[in-house]
Structure 1
Amino acid sequence: MDGTAPKASESPARYENGGADGPAYGAADVERWAAEPDKRPGRTAFQRDRARVLHSAALRRLAGKTQVVTPGTSGQAPAWDATPRTRLTHSLECAQVGRELGAALGCDPDLVEAACLSHDLGHPPFGHNGEQALNEFARDCGGFEGNAQSLRLLARIEPKRFVSSAATGRLVSVGLNLTRAVLDAATKYPWPRGAHPSDPASPKFGVYDDDRPVFDWVRLGAPGHRTCFEAQVMDWSDDVAYSVHDVEDGLHAGHVDPDCLHAEPERQAVFAVAVGRYVPADTDPDELAEALDRLLAQEWWPHGYDGSAVAQARLKDATSQLIGRFCLAAEGATRAAYGSGRLTRYAAELVVPRSTRMECAVLKAVADRYVMQRAEQERLRADQRVVVAELAEALTARAPEGLDPQFRALFEEAADDRARKRVIVDQIASLTDISALALHARLVGLR
Structure 2
Amino acid sequence: MTHTGTEAAGTPRVARRYVEHETSQHRSAGIHDADGPHESMSAAQEFRIDLERIRFSSYFARLSDVTQVVPQSGVGPVMHNRLTHSLKVSAVARVIAAQLASQEAAHLAFARGDDAADDPTGAVVARLGGCDTVVAQSAAHAHDLGHPPFGHLGERVLDRVARERLGLAEGFEGNAQSFRILTQLDTLGRDFPGLNLTAATRAATLKYPWTRSEWIGVSLAELPVTERPRGVGADMVEGAEKFSAYSLDAAEMESALAAFPEIGAGVQTVECAVMDLADDIAYAVHDLDDFARAGVLQQAAVQGELRAWLAGSAALAAIELSVLEASWRAPGHALELLWRRTQVKDAWIADRDAFTEAVARVSEEVAESLLATPFDGGIDSERAVSGFTRRWIEHLRTSIVVEEQPHVRSGHVRLDRRAWHEVTVLKFVHAHFVLERPDLGQSQRGQARIVADLALGFDAWLADPTDAGRAPRRLLEWVDEATAASFALRRDRPELLIGDTSDAGLRRQGRSRAILDYVAALSDQQALTTHRALTSG
Q: TM-score, normalised by structure 2?
A: 0.69
Distance 1:303 1:435, change over 3 A: closer
Amino acid at match of 2:392: L
Q: Deviation string for 1:5-43 (max 9, x for gaps)?
A: xxxxxxxxx9452359x9972313144624323399566
Q: Which shows bigger deviation, 49-58 or 290-299?
A: 290-299
Cα distance, 1:328 vs structure 2: 0.8
Cα distance, 1:258 vs structure 2: 3.5
Q: Which has the higher helix share?
A: 2
- What is the match of residue 186 of structure 2? 158
CA distance in 2 between partners of 1:403 and 1:110 (Å)? 40
Distance 1:23 1:311, change over 3 A: farther
RMSD across aligned positions (CA): 2.8
| In the alignment, structure 1 residue 289 sits paired with structure 2 residue 369 | no
From 150, 154, 157, give the equivalent of 1:133. 157
Amino acid at match of 1:427: Y
- What is the match of residue 168 of structure 1? none
Cα distance, 1:247 vs structure 2: 1.3
Q: Deviation string for 1:352-380 (max 9, x for gaps)?
A: 21221111111111111111111121222
From 409, 413, 431, give the equivalent of 1:350. 413
Cα distance, 1:284 vs structure 2: 6.8
- What is the match of residue 394 of structure 1? 457
The structure with more radius of gyration: 2
Distance 1:372 1:40, change over 3 A: farther
CA distance in 2 between partners of 1:380 and 1:126 (Å)? 11
Cα distance, 1:326 vs structure 2: 1.1
**Does the 8 Å contact 1:291/1:358 carry over to 2?**
yes
Amino acid at match of 1:274: L
Cα distance, 1:312 vs structure 2: 1.9
- What is the match of residue 307 of structure 1? 375
Gapped runs of 5+ residues in structure 1?
1-13, 164-172, 339-347
Aligned pair count? Answer: 404
CA distance in 1 between partners of 2:334 and 2:390 (Å)? 23
**Does the 8 Å contact 1:291/1:355 carry over to 2?**
yes
Cα distance, 1:47 vs structure 2: 0.5
CA distance in 2 between partners of 1:232 and 1:424 (Å)? 31
CA distance in 2 between partners of 1:380 and 1:279 (Å)? 34
Q: Which shows bigger deviation, 317-326 or 295-304?
A: 295-304
Cα distance, 1:132 vs structure 2: 0.9
Cα distance, 1:303 vs structure 2: 4.4
Gapped runs of 5+ residues in structure 2?
23-27, 102-130, 216-226, 309-329, 405-410, 463-467, 485-506
Amino acid at match of 1:92: L
- What is the match of residue 345 of structure 1? none
- % same residue: 29
**SS of corresponding position for 1:239:** helix
**SS of corresponding position for 2:14:** coil
**Does the 8 Å contact 2:182/2:196 carry over to 1?**
yes
**SS of corresponding position for 2:441:** helix
CA distance in 2 between partners of 1:243 and 1:24 (Å)? 37
Cα distance, 1:72 vs structure 2: 2.5
- What is the match of residue 214 of structure 1? 252
Distance 1:428 1:55, change over 3 A: same
**SS of corresponding position for 1:47:** helix
Amino acid at match of 2:529: A
Amino acid at match of 2:474: Q
CA distance in 2 between partners of 1:56 and 1:356 (Å)? 35
CA distance in 2 between partners of 1:134 and 1:307 (Å)? 37
**Does the 8 Å contact 1:68/1:372 carry over to 2?**
yes
CA distance in 1 between partners of 2:469 and 2:66 (Å)? 24
**Does the 8 Å contact 1:69/1:249 carry over to 2?**
no
**SS of corresponding position for 1:28:** helix
From 271, 274, 280, give the equivalent of 1:233. 274
Cα distance, 1:174 vs structure 2: 2.3
CA distance in 1 between partners of 2:458 and 2:422 (Å)? 44
Amino acid at match of 1:149: Q
Mapping of residues 293-442 of structure 1, within 5 Å: 293-297=360-364, 301-308=369-376, 309=378, 310-330=380-400, 333-334=401-402, 349-399=412-462, 400=468, 404-413=472-481, 414-415=483-484, 416-442=507-533
Cα distance, 1:398 vs structure 2: 1.0
Cα distance, 1:71 vs structure 2: 1.4
- What is the match of residue 14 of structure 2? 26
**Does the 8 Å contact 2:68/2:81 carry over to 1?**
yes
Mapping of residues 99-114 of structure 1, within 5 Å: 99-106=94-101, 107-114=131-138
Cα distance, 1:277 vs structure 2: 6.6
From 338, 353, 357, give the equivalent of 1:274. 338
**Does the 8 Å contact 1:402/1:443 carry over to 2?**
no
Q: Which has the higher contact order (CA 8 A, sep 6+)?
A: 1
CA distance in 1 between partners of 2:337 and 2:140 (Å)? 27
Q: Which shows bigger deviation, 276-285 or 418-427?
A: 276-285
Mapping of residues 16-95 of structure 1, within 5 Å: 16-18=5-7, 25-31=13-19, 33-34=21-22, 35=28, 36=32, 37-38=37-38, 44-74=45-75, 82-95=77-90
Amino acid at match of 1:242: Y
CA distance in 1 between partners of 2:60 and 2:92 (Å)? 18
**Does the 8 Å contact 2:78/2:294 carry over to 1?**
no
Q: Which shows bigger deviation, 406-415 or 311-320?
A: 406-415
**Does the 8 Å contact 2:273/2:414 carry over to 1?**
no
CA distance in 1 between partners of 2:421 and 2:302 (Å)? 16
Amino acid at match of 1:241: A
Q: TM-score, normalised by structure 1?
A: 0.82
Distance 1:272 1:30, change over 3 A: same
Distance 1:383 1:286, change over 3 A: farther
**Does the 8 Å contact 1:123/1:131 carry over to 2?**
yes
Distance 1:236 1:402, change over 3 A: farther
Cα distance, 1:298 vs structure 2: 5.2
CA distance in 2 between partners of 1:402 and 1:357 (Å)? 52
From 173, 190, 194, give the equivalent of 1:175. 194
